[in-house]
Amino acid sequence: MKKRVNTIFVILCIVDIVVNLVLIDIPGVNFAVAIGSLIFLGILYYIVRKLLYFEELLLEINRRMDEKI
């Protein structure tokens, strides 16, 4: 699952950079927009990774509770 998340975010970052650099014609603005959107994608990536970690943690707790019963 982690590899899939990493792959999806790499593809999103590449597409984001290409779209920003191609579609925005103002030279200084396109780099600023690209950097801003990459920061946003980085924050989103961090949140998704933390959610995956918490999911794995809850699954492990659930397995241990099932073993005790």
More confident residue, 21 or 51: 51
User: Following DSSP, what letter does each residue of 10-40 receive, concatenated?
Assistant: HHHHHHHHHHHHHH--SHHHHHHHHHHHHHH
Other beta carbons within 10 angstroms of residue 20's beta carbon come to 19
> So what's the pLDDT on residue 34?
77
For the chain, the average pLDDT equals: 83
- Rounded average pLDDT over 21-32: 74
The encoded tokens of residue 3 equal: 């590899």
| pLDDT value at residue 1 | 66
Model pLDDT for residues 30-48, shown as the tens digit of each residue? 777 778 888 888 888 889 8
Q: Which of 19, 15, 9 is nearest to 43 (CA)?
A: 9
What pLDDT does 62 receive?
92
Nearest-CA neighbor of 42 among 19, 24, 17?
17
